[in-house]
Amino acid sequence: MARIQRKDPVDGSIDRLVLHLAKLYEQAHSHKFPNSGCKFVSRVGGVPWEDIIPDLDLHFSNIADYCSWGKKVLAWPTAKVISVRRQIECSFIEKHPHLLSAWSAVSEENTPDLCESLAVHEEMRLTLISLLNAILHEREQ
């Protein structure tokens, strides 16, 4: 299974996190949905693609939706910050452990489109979590 490695893109300041999220959001939207990679995983992993594509699309869409808020995230009430953080705290495969065996087919060689999309969305998710944590930390002070 391809491992998604988090690049530590920024120093953690809120402004830099917001800017980095905007760049990742643009990068994510420059790619098509990875249908071919999903169908390969389905074929090799023996899981119907209908069990992968809708869930992955929803996962990507949720992350992108929250990232699309840009600096407006800074104005979210604390309850929303906590709620969003809770909603995105798990990776796709953590939310869908029944796909773990099929996910072993994911690799740069076999599913480059899927690897690319997973990497970008995972970095978006982790950066957004860092931003939400920084917002909460700042509000506690």
Query: Would you list the domain boundaries of the chain?
Result: 14-140
Q: Is it the case that residue 68 has pLDDT exceeding 60?
A: yes
On whether the CB atoms of residues 141 and 107 are closer than 8 A, the answer is no
Residues 122, 126: Cα–Cα separation, whole Å: 6
How many H helices and E strands in the chain? Answer: 7, 0
* Per-residue pLDDT, 11: 53
Percent of the chain topping pLDDT 70? 91
Q: Is it the case that residue 31 has pLDDT exceeding 70?
A: yes
Mean pLDDT of 101-105: 91
